[in-house]
Chain A
Amino acid sequence: MMLRYILLIAAFIGLMAVFSMGLQRDPGELPSTYLDKQAPRVDLPALKNPEERLDNARLRGQQSLVNVWATWCVGCREEHPFLMALAARDVIPIYGINWRDQRDDALRWLDQYGDPYVISGFDGDGRTGIDWGVYGAPETFLIDADGTVLHKHLGPLTDAIWQRDFVPLLAGGAAAP
């Protein structure tokens, strides 16, 4: 009889544990379907010089970041200083996908706040965004030298997140800055 009560209480505690774990997860955050797969296709005219293109060839040869941003996106404004700092450290090339934006607004933004991107592709109609499974800017993908997606982060990037989620995956390992 005693055993039955102990089992009941154990089951209750177990259930509470599952619930409290569930509460701490953000249901809005979905893992990228491309993790450990080749990055989706991208072939966009550059924001600044439309003659240039952001394509998959650029994302090979060394690790790179692909940052999906827009001028209407509050989180992008928030993470911008971090991207600038990261670009200044010259750790990894950062490519931008300017998602569903107006070209003039985007150019003005880069003028005003600085341009951390090697090149930003202009995805005005958002089709490349869909191909990448983007559903909320900012999103940041870490792409390996062979073009596979190592990690995706949803939301503004900060130094803490960078250190925790990205640095261990860098080619130099945790030793990299």
Chain B
Amino acid sequence: MKKFVAIANLLLLSVPAAAIDTDKAFEDPELQARYEHIIEEVRCLKCQNQSIRDSNAFLAADLRREIRRMLDDGMTDAEIYDFLVERYGEFALYRPRASGKTLILWLAPGLLLLAGLVTLVMVLRRRMAMPIDSDGS
């Protein structure tokens, strides 16, 4: 019982896991919302399957700091994404913008679906044109 109480006490005393981004929030809630949105959209280049919101790599911390600075300077979201793409390429964004090099990324799923549908229609048509087998096998 003593043990149980001790464990319960420890659990009650434990602090919830601290968020990775420990910087002070913006005073303007709108800026804070934009900040939180942007850091989720930006890939940590060092740890490529994490956004800079989720990564504690120091590069992610540096990029968060730069994004804060840019928001403070009154830059628009588009300008901030441009800043990152200029330095790290479209790869830095989880949703690369549709332009030139990345166009195929955006078009490929649609084109593949279309190709599948066309094939399906062709196969079905050919089947329909075939004579129905009389012995039913």
- Which residues of chain A have a CB within 8 Å of any CB of chain B? 27-28, 30-31, 33, 40, 100, 125-127, 129-133, 135-136
Q: Which residues of B contact A130 (CB under 8 A)?
A: 62-63, 66, 87
Q: Which residues of B contact A132 (CB under 8 A)?
A: 87
Q: Which residues of A contact B66 (CB under 8 A)?
A: 127, 130
Question: How far apart are the CA atoms of A102 and B59 in the complex, in Å?
Answer: 16
| A30 contacts B91, C-beta separation under 8 Å | yes
Question: How far apart are the CA atoms of A131 and B87 in the complex, in Å?
Answer: 6
Task: List 12 interface pairs A-B (beta carbons < 8 Å), by A numbering.
Answer: A28-B48, A30-B89, A33-B85, A40-B87, A126-B59, A127-B66, A130-B66, A131-B87, A133-B87, A135-B88, A136-B45, A136-B59
Q: Which residues of A contact B63 (CB under 8 A)?
A: 130
Closest to A32 in B: B89
Q: Kindly list 8 other residue pairs between chains A and B, CB separation below 8 angstroms, not including A33-B89, A129-B62, A136-B45.
A: A30-B89, A125-B62, A127-B66, A130-B62, A132-B87, A133-B87, A135-B88, A136-B59
Asked, given contacts A27-B48, A28-B48, A30-B45, whether A133 binds B62 with beta carbons under 8 Å apart, the answer is no
Question: Does B86 lie at the interface of the complex (its beta carbon under 8 Å from any beta carbon of A)?
Answer: yes
Question: How far apart are the CA atoms of A100 and B46 in the complex, in Å?
Answer: 15
Number of A-B contacts (CB under 8 A): 38
Asked, given contacts A127-B66, A135-B45, whether A100 binds B58 with beta carbons under 8 Å apart, the answer is yes
Please count how many residues in chain B sit with their CB below 8 Å of the partner chain's CB atoms.
14
Q: Which residues of A contact B46 (CB under 8 A)?
A: 135-136
Q: Which residues of B contact A30 (CB under 8 A)?
A: 45, 88-89, 91
| B59 contacts A135, C-beta separation under 8 Å | yes
User: Whole-angstrom distance from the CB of B90 to the nearest CB of chain A?
Assistant: 9
Q: Which residues of A contact B87 (CB under 8 A)?
A: 33, 40, 130-133
Q: Which residues of A contact B91 (CB under 8 A)?
A: 30
Which residue of the partner chain, among A28, A33, A126, contacts B62 with CB atoms under 8 Å? Answer: A126
User: Whole-angstrom distance from the CB of B132 to the nearest CB of chain A?
Assistant: 21
Closest to B66 in A: A130
Q: Which residues of B contact A136 (CB under 8 A)?
A: 45-46, 59
Q: Which residues of B contact A40 (CB under 8 A)?
A: 87
User: Whole-angstrom distance from the CB of B92 to the nearest CB of chain A?
Assistant: 9
| A126 contacts B58, C-beta separation under 8 Å | yes
Question: How far apart are the CA atoms of A127 and B65 in the complex, in Å?
Answer: 10
Q: Which residues of B contact A27 (CB under 8 A)?
A: 48
| B62 contacts A31, C-beta separation under 8 Å | no
Most central of A28, A126, A129 by chain B CB within 10 Å? A126
Q: Which residues of B contact A127 (CB under 8 A)?
A: 62, 66
User: Whole-angstrom distance from the CB of A133 to the nearest CB of chain B?
Assistant: 4
